[in-house]
A and B are shown apart, each in its own frame.
Chain A
Amino acid sequence: MNQPRTLYEKIWDSHVVKRRDDGTCIVFIDRHLVHEVTSPQAFEGLRAAGRPVRRPDLTLAVADHNLPTTARRDAGGNRVPIADSMSAKQLEALEANAPAFGIRYIDDAAPEQGIVHVVGPEQGFTLPGCTLVCGDSHTAAHGALGALAFGIGTSEVEHVLATQTLLLKQSKSMEVRVEGTLGFGVSPKDLVLAIVAKLGASGGTGYVVEYTGSTIRDMSIEGRLTISNMSIEAGARAGLIAPDEKTYAYLKGRPYAPTGADWDAALAWWQSLPSDQGARYDKRVALDATDIAPNVTWGTSPEDVVPITGNVPDPDSFADESKRAAAAKSLDYMGLTPGQRMQDIPVDNIFIGSCTNSRIEDLRAAAAVAKGRKIAGGIKQALVVPGSGLVKRQAEEEGLDRIFIEAGFEWREPGCSMCLGMNPDKVPPGQRCASTSNRNFVGRQGPGARTHLLSPAMAAAAAITGKLADIREMMG
């Protein structure tokens, strides 16, 4: 009898091309997403060695990190020049490299353009059971569809381009089981912040996580994408969710999804992928969804999470000495004092977007809060940046753009934007941002920027009240 296997083991086993004696395996990569920041040096390496791309047909390129979120074409259809010459150069490099190596490229003004992790699922490029990589750590997001997806460095990008494989060792496995119903005003973002807080920023290092339990099963695909996306904030390279009827319904009819007899064959295989009864995980963690409140971060690590009803912690309250030192440093950087109520913290900037929270459900949640209200006078900048041109179009069809604009938000073109400020969208030094992105690192949203991570509805609430606010009080 076959030993019960996890979803991860099934995908891993079906992708090992060759196993070396030392346990390192050549693993086949089914899908490769390429963007402009982490690929130029990889293409240069191929050129220097005279190597072609082995499977351009399994590769898809799109620019997202550098693109300004203002209009990209003028009234005459001509490109609006990118002011930052370095950003322009990276975009030009991708635009030249993709056709030179036979790779499909989504144009920066195409409706399909967007953040690479929004585009993959949206196009049906991401499929259950596939191995998918990208030179970006938030590639973990695609695990929400049951793909073994993880971020890689540029040397690995070059390795995949040249060989369509990677040299890997199997990771340990961790089950993160979440049971129960999320409360009113509590979103998948709040749950994943709770998960990161529970595991710690390095708790998932060396593991591939699988999220299980009724909360995950009951969650939409977009909610699951938010969960898997932030696996890396707990150190886990990948965060899988077993494919189910929701996954199949989401994928059916998408441009790159299989069709006809291929769809039936694919479906049969996908249905065999979920972890078997009795499958063994190296570690198991459980959370009760009913315990979770809307969460916000207070520090400079995504593990620094408190409920919105809580206070800024006292660094002395941490048992670990290095954590005490880190917390004191974080509070200094964040300009916060121990004991301060989170709901008393005023914010200057609002960012609704990023590969974590820029899909249509995120925008609907934020718009529901913004509807009929105005952003507070003290807010200096409030951006809504859809994850893709298709998300943008859908939101406009639903009138969400009007709601945001009438409330005082700016409605922008898709891209990574203020999540990491490689384009002109930055949080100015010393200013505070309520952000739906994934990282509150020192300087992440711009040098000296102070980031509080939260859900789209909570970001909208912060925009309206001018400070961090409890969405449950606002909408209750």
Chain B
Amino acid sequence: MEPFKQVEGRAYPFGRKNVDTDVIIPAEYLKTISREGLFEGAFKVVRAEEGNVFDDPEYAGAPILIAGDNFGCGSSREHAAWALNDMGIRVVVAPSFSDIFSSNAFKNGILAVELSQAAINRLMEVATTDPITVDLENQVVTTPFQDRFEFPIDAFRKSCLVAGLDEIGLTLESGEAIASYEQQVSAARPWLIKETA
């Protein structure tokens, strides 16, 4: 995964709340066996609306998306994160995210930034005319107008993003601990992880 440090650029002032992953990528696009090529289906129902931000040339190629509360709710489809990736989005800023989406985003090198609704409102305003900067190292979102919004992020996720780590590789380094856990459970609760085949 590509290391994540800082992203500066225009932001889609989307702002909608409860954006579910069916809206981000409809089910008809889940039939792929690849992680790429989901651009076409991304936000399809929104893009059918006249004057939508995603087809506005003003924001073409914007790396940041500003959304409302509960972004990415619903289905666990990682295709939602892949679709954002395909659109070139590196950061989603919202007051809250669904648990599964934020995990999927993070595993694809997309930063989910949680800010207050007041901060979101301000960024929505700035986004219509100017770029926004998201600095992961210092955990802060800034604008050319001296706005400065600090955001929290899980320390482990931050370290993985900054280093561009492969999580599976990281866990496999603990292979011995996993093996000894398996032995321990095999003794204590053999029925639980006994070969069920």
B163-196 vs A, Cβ < 8 Å mask (1 yes, 0 no)? 0000110111011011001100100011111111
Given A326-B16, A441-B23, A205-B156 contact (CB < 8 Å): no
Q: How far is the CB of B139 from chain A (nearest CB, A)?
A: 15
In the complex, per-residue mask of B84-104: 1 if CB is within 8 Å of any chain A CB, else 0: 000000000000111110011
- Complex Cα–Cα for A90 and B193 (A): 29
Instruction: Answer yes or no: B20 CB below 8 A from chain A CBs.
Output: yes
**Cβ distance B88 to chain A, nearest Cβ, rounded Å:** 20
Inter-chain CA distance A123–B108, complex, in Å, is 34
Q: Which of B76, B159, B167, B197 has the most CB of A within 10 A?
A: B76
Binds A, one of B57-65, B67-75, B126-134: B67-75
Given contacts A104-B197, A237-B100, contact A202 B192 (CB under 8 A): no
Residues of B within 8 A of A266 (CB): 189, 191-192
Query: Interface residues, chain B, CB within 8 Å of chain A?
Result: 16-18, 20, 22-23, 26-28, 30-35, 44-45, 68-70, 73-78, 81, 96-100, 103-104, 107-108, 154-156, 159, 167-168, 170-172, 174-175, 177-178, 181-182, 185, 189-197
| Candidates A152, A265, A322, A439; contact of B22 at CB < 8 Å | A439
Proximity bits, A401-444, B CB within 8 Å = 1, else 0: 00000000000000000001110000000000000000101111
- Once the chains bind, are A17 and B181 in contact (CB under 8 Å)? yes
Known: A84-B31, A136-B75, A201-B70. 13 other contacts (CB 8 A): A30-B193, A137-B100, A151-B76, A156-B104, A205-B97, A233-B74, A235-B70, A422-B27, A422-B31, A441-B20, A442-B20, A443-B45, A447-B28
Contact present for B78 and A326 (CB under 8 Å): no
- In whole angstroms, what is the CA distance A258 to B155 when docked? 40
Closest A residue to B77 by CB, please name it: A38
In A292-330, which residues have CB < 8 Å from any B CB? 301, 303, 322-323, 326
A155: contacting residue among B70, B107, B174, B185, CB under 8 A:
B107
Pick 23 A–B contacts, CB within 8 A, sort by A: A22-B155, A23-B155, A24-B154, A26-B171, A26-B177, A37-B77, A38-B76, A90-B31, A104-B197, A127-B192, A137-B75, A151-B76, A153-B100, A153-B103, A155-B78, A156-B107, A158-B168, A167-B167, A206-B99, A232-B74, A258-B194, A420-B75, A447-B26
Given A17-B178, A129-B192, A235-B99, answer yes or no on A153-B74 (Cβ-Cβ < 8 Å).
Answer: no
Contact of B178 among A156, A165, A232, A303 (CB under 8 A): A165
Q: Inside 8 A of B99's CB, which chain A residues have their CB?
A: 171, 205-206, 235, 237
Contact A18 B18 (CB under 8 A): no
Within 8 A of B (CB), among A262-288: 262-263, 265-266, 269
Interface size class of A (residues with CB under 8 A): 35 or more
Contact of B22 with A441 in the complex, beta carbons under 8 Å: yes
**CA–CA, A104 and B78, complex, Å:** 24
Would you list the 6 A-B pairs with minimal beta carbon distance, nearest first?
A86-B31, A202-B70, A153-B78, A153-B104, A40-B33, A262-B191
B196 touches A256 (CB 8 A): yes
Known contacts A205-B98, A266-B189, A162 near B156 by CB under 8 Å? no
- Bound complex: CA A353 to CA B31 (Å): 21
A154 in the interface (beta carbon within 8 A): yes
Q: Which residue of A lies closest to B48 (CB)?
A: A447
Cα-based distance from A350 to B169 in the complex (angstroms):
47
A interface residue numbers (CB < 8 A to B): 17-18, 20, 22-24, 26, 28, 30, 37-38, 40-41, 44, 49, 51, 54-58, 65-66, 84, 86-87, 89-90, 93, 104, 125, 127, 129-130, 135-137, 139, 151-156, 158-159, 162-165, 167, 169, 171, 201-202, 205-206, 232-233, 235, 237, 256, 258, 262-263, 265-266, 269, 301, 303, 322-323, 326, 420-422, 439, 441-444, 447
